[in-house]
Amino acid sequence: MLLNSKLFILSPSEIKTFGIQNLTYGSLTNKGLKKVVDTINKYSSNIYGIDLGCGDGELIYHLQKEINNSLWEGVEICQSRIDSQIRDVCIWQGDMLDENFRNYNIIHADNLCLEDHIAEQLEQKILLEFKGIYITYRKPTYYKFLKYAILLESVIVETTWNNHMIYFYKLM
């Protein structure tokens, strides 16, 4: 996968508005992508997915290319990352907490670096609005989420920062 170096250049106003922690960015390697694709294919078909914090859409471009019958979209809070888009993908600038998740059957969230209270708000929102596969890089802590979500599998994937555990949950 090609990591766009422009994704790491942030304006002072974006850092001030959203906080540097919430703008941390990384990506899967080719090996990590293959592991995610293989795991998704075990649990889902006819995919309509969304990537929360999609950067320039790199991951959804590859997922759509590698997984048959899949359509992916992405939301990214940082406008400069949207402006760095180099692939033909459907992405937009917005806050993941303002999006409607009801139409999707897969959510991918590389949410490892989110502030704790934002990560918990996301888990609450997913629990209320979403039915399908939720892929997260952060082990959920919201007690109601843990009560109702079914852990399908935990897999170690190779990323640009290290090998990292990601979790595949099913919400009914």
Three-state DSSP state, 148 = helix
Average the pLDDT over 25-31 and give the result. 76
Q: Specify the CATH number for the domain of residue 69.
A: 3.40.50.150
Residue 73: the pLDDT is 98
3-state helix, strand, coil split of the chain in percent (to 5) is 40, 25, 35
Q: Where are the alpha helices (DSSP H) in 2-89?
A: 12-18, 30-43, 58-66, 79-83
Domain count for the chain:
1
The residue range of the domain holding 82 is 5-171
- Using one digit for the tens of pLDDT, what is the confidence trace for 36-47? 999 999 999 899
Average the pLDDT over 81-103 and give the result. 94
Q: What is the pTM of this model?
A: 0.86
- Using one digit for the tens of pLDDT, what is the confidence trace for 94-133? 999 999 999 999 999 988 878 899 999 999 999 999 999 9
Would you say 137 and 109 are in contact if contact means Cβ atoms under 8 Å apart?
Answer: yes
